[in-house]
Structure 1
Amino acid sequence: MTLDDRRTVGVEEEFLVVDAAGRPVPRAPDIVADEERLEHELQQEQAETGSEPTTDLATLIADLAGQRTALARAAAEYQAHVAALGTSPVPVQPTTTPNPRYVRMMREYGLTAHQQLSCGCHVHVSISSRDEGVAAVNAIQPWLAPILALSANSPYWQGEDTGFASYRRQVWNRWPSAGPTTPFSGPDEYDAVIAAMIGSGVLLDRGMVYFDARLSARYPTLEIRVADVCPTPEDAGLVAALCRGLVESAPLLVTPLPITRIELLRGAAWRASYSGLSGDLVDPTSGKPAPAPAVLERLVATIAPALRRHGDLDAVEASLDRVLARGTGADLQRAAFARRGDLADVVQDAVARTTPSLS
């Protein structure tokens, strides 16, 4: 495979904007206004960055680090910091961004919208056609729960330990379109399902299609939205490489697996959300419980040819070993809390990990 043949990959990351005491603050509109590559989100305590698409994993990680640094420096102008946390550890009442669409969402979706302050990592992988994209959406579904487990970074909610590694997943599942999907016969059925969801009045528009994996409405990409925002750029790069490897491997993943039914996919995602890498996951190849490290290693082995073709295999194996030894973001948050029993320490530790070059 030549450099020109490799799929591009890009990442969008959402961050909490916090004050020195670790409390989310509604300064994102000011911060975003100062930077070209930053975007508004539903709540004013949140800002989003986006990398440039690239074929090279090291370039992607460097871009993510640069975007995080730029965001942190912009936030500092307003006496704020940015934290890669899937949810806020400390209690918060989010402030809606004054955008007509967001105001309508608040009106029509109740507490689901009002409480929706969660930060994800969205990976865009290039596709050659919508047919290829829909086929990949179908094929990769059983392997998305392990990626959720790997990225789990949201154990706290409104000042309490939820018992989950990724409580963001539980909050996100309140949206009517969130979660896994059953197989689509092709782009026509994919579009028809979305049109029916909008036509029913349940969704406002295509922007509210929150499938775990969806065709991007703006780019020629498949967007995988299952991951929490990751503690470090290197972790986000690992998630991105695995997602690209899955999309590249999709034609080889068409053999039916035991957990292709949506009920089983939801169960597998719930398990990943609950225990992260600390307990068993549902093994996509057997449908049975298996230790999380074994499931992640099986994922890497399954997509190893694609990782090798993109030059990612060695980096992915090294990064996975590092995360398995260190723990997930959820493990890091709980360790930070355990030192003094103060949730402000959790946020401050996350701020330092988000942009280590500024620490």
Structure 2
Amino acid sequence: MRTVGVEEELLLVAPETGEPKALSAAVLARAARDDACEGVFEKELYNQMLEFNTHPQADMADLNAEIVRCRREAARHAGEIGCTVAALATSPLPVSPSVTRGSRYQWMEEQYGIAVQQQLVLGCHVHVSVGSDEEGVAVLDRIRPWLSVISALSANSPFWQGRDTCYDSYRSRVWQRWPSAGPTEVFGSAEHYHGRVADMVGSGVILDEGMIYFDARLSRQYPTVEVRVADVCLHAGTATLIATLTRGLVETAAREWWDGHPPLDHSVSLLRLAAWQAARSGLAQELLHPETMRRLPAENVVGALLEHIGGALADSGDLEQARAACARLLNGGTGAHVQRELLTRTRNLREVVTGCVRHTQA
């Protein structure tokens, strides 16, 4: 069974007003004194963010329990200094991001200017174990068309600087400001993949391999494929679903590689269109079908994803849970839908944030 780990980035906010708070250093200092949180929390580019990493898990119930626990521990440590956490991929309220101190982050701010000064977005990254770099690159080549569906399911960023963007995942649009971000071509081999990464680092436009912000990449630190397209999800159960579907995609792609099936050779241009469509409307309207690259209702495209990875999900015992979770999202709406409903009900973006704080820790 392939193991799965999740990285989530959480927004630090004032519990009464919902305003983002630049207090990550203080929260991390609190967590560092807690033996139970050793290695769990990390600093990020902005002082308004707190990241946690789960352990690799083979059982999705165990992964879900750890995500819930990490969110509650984050809230507990944040509460000790007068703030709390919200699983929001962008801040609904206006914010002036504060860049974390350090030579790496200073280099990024000098290199990319206003893009860094404005880009406070929060994502969910999923690591799935692979047996080798060759298998990993074969997986990267075969999951490319399906990642837009993962993005749509996770959509949780409709607001930006106090305004409705008309996008369900505006985070993914802001993320494209990075020069190395987005979909990739078919690599064909680990040698080609590593050569491309070396050329990109050698250009001097990015600092190092850690700034390879492909939609999916080989991890530098672990024997995993790292999928990076998801918004941080409002509910822990949605994050678990994203991890479940991602493992299913990785396993299915590896089996296709073993069986000699070539990847779909969609152009990067088409993949960008699919990603834009997923960001624009999430599950509310249409998506591009990953095989045909033509519009279909989101329900049909999610169904195609479940059919595509159904064998892998069945073998891991996750098929029925994944179907039920997808149905709940299609019927009840993504995090973006929940945020807009909160605004309709309260007419106050501060109430949107405080409402999402409650969803984060549910």
Structure 1 length as normaliser, TM-score?
Answer: 0.96
- Which of 250, 256, 264 in structure 2 is aligned with 1:252? 256
- Please state if 1:92 is matched with 2:87: no
For 2:29 and 2:199, locate their aligned partners in 1 and report how far apart those are by CA, in whole Å. 36
- Partners of 2:288 and 2:295 within 8 A in 1: yes
The gaps in structure 2 that reach 5 residues or longer are 32-37
Match in the other structure for 1:154: 157
Question: Residue in 1 aligned with 2:338?
Answer: 332
Tell me which amino acid in the other structure corresponds to 1:97.
Answer: T
**SS of equivalent to 1:63:** helix
Cα displacement string for residues 114-140 of structure 1 (whole angstroms, at most 9, x for unaligned residues): 112111000000000000000000000
Residues 172-201 of structure 1, C-alpha deviations (whole Å, 9 max, x = no match): 000001010001121111111111111111
Contact 2:89 2:156 survives alignment (8 Å): yes
Secondary structure class of the residue paired with 1:34: helix
Task: Give the counterpart of 1:24 among 20, 25, 29.
Answer: 20
- 1:195-215, Cα deviation, whole Å (9 max, x unpaired): 111111111111111000000
Post-superposition CA distance 1:266-296 (Å, at most 9, x none) = 0000000000001110001222100011101
- Equivalent residues in 2 for 1:311-330, closer than 5 Å: 311-330=317-336
Q: In the alignment, what sits opposite 2:8?
A: 13
1:1-359 paired onto structure 2 within 5 Å: 6-19=1-14, 20-35=16-31, 36=38, 37-250=40-253, 251-252=255-256, 254-257=261-264, 260-356=266-362
Offset of residue 232 of structure 1: 1.1
**Contact 2:141–2:263 under 8 Å retained in 1:** no
2:34 maps to none
In 2, Cα distance between equivalents of 1:41 and 1:157: 20
Aligned equivalents of 1:33, 1:197: Cα separation in 2: 35
In structure 2, distance between residues paired with 1:200 and 1:278 = 40
Shift of 1:255: 4.6
Quote the residue 1:3 is aligned against. Answer: none
Taking the aligned partners of 1:155 and 1:99, their CA distance within structure 2 comes to: 31
Distance in 2 (alpha carbons) for counterparts of 1:256 and 1:121:
25
Give runs of ≥4 in structure 1 deviating > 6 Å. Answer: none
Structure 1 SS opposite 2:113: helix
Match of 1:233, as an amino acid?
Answer: A
CA-atom RMSD, angstroms? 1.0
For the residues of structure 2 that align with 1:267 and 1:338, how far apart are their CA atoms? 30
**Residue type of the partner of 1:27?**
L
Aligned to 2:35: none
Q: C-alpha displacement at 1:15, in angstroms?
A: 0.6
Listed one character per residue, the Cα deviations across residues 323-352 of structure 1 (whole Å, up to 9, x for unaligned) are 111100000000001112110111011100
- Partner deviation per Cα, 1:66-95 (whole Å, 9 max, x = no partner): 000000000000110100001000000011
- Provide the rounded CA distance (Å) in 1 between the counterparts of 2:234 and 2:221: 27
CA distance in 2, matches of 1:188, 1:298: 32
Query: In structure 2, how many angstroms separate the alpha carbons of the residues matched to 1:325 and 1:317?
Result: 12
Q: Shift of the alpha carbon at 1:45? A: 0.1
Structure 1: runs of 5+ lacking an equivalent: 1-5
* Structure 1 residue identity aligned to 2:8: E
**Distance apart, 1:317 and its partner CA:** 0.8
Count, aligned residues: 350
Q: C-alpha offsets along residues 239-282 of structure 1, whole Å, 9 cap, x if unaligned?
A: 0000000000003384554x711000000000000000011100
- % identity of equivalent residues: 48
Amino acid of the structure 1 residue aligned with 2:256: L
SS in 1 for 2:97: coil
Paired with 2:221 and 2:360, the residues of 1 have a C-alpha distance of 28
- In the TM superposition, residue 34 of structure 1 has moved relative to its aligned partner by 2.1
* Aligned equivalents of 1:32, 1:241: Cα separation in 2: 29
Taking structure 2 as the reference length, the TM-score comes to: 0.95
Aligned counterparts of 2:26 and 2:299: Cα–Cα separation in 1: 42
| Aligned-partner residue type, residue 132 of structure 2 | S
Matched AA of 1:299: L
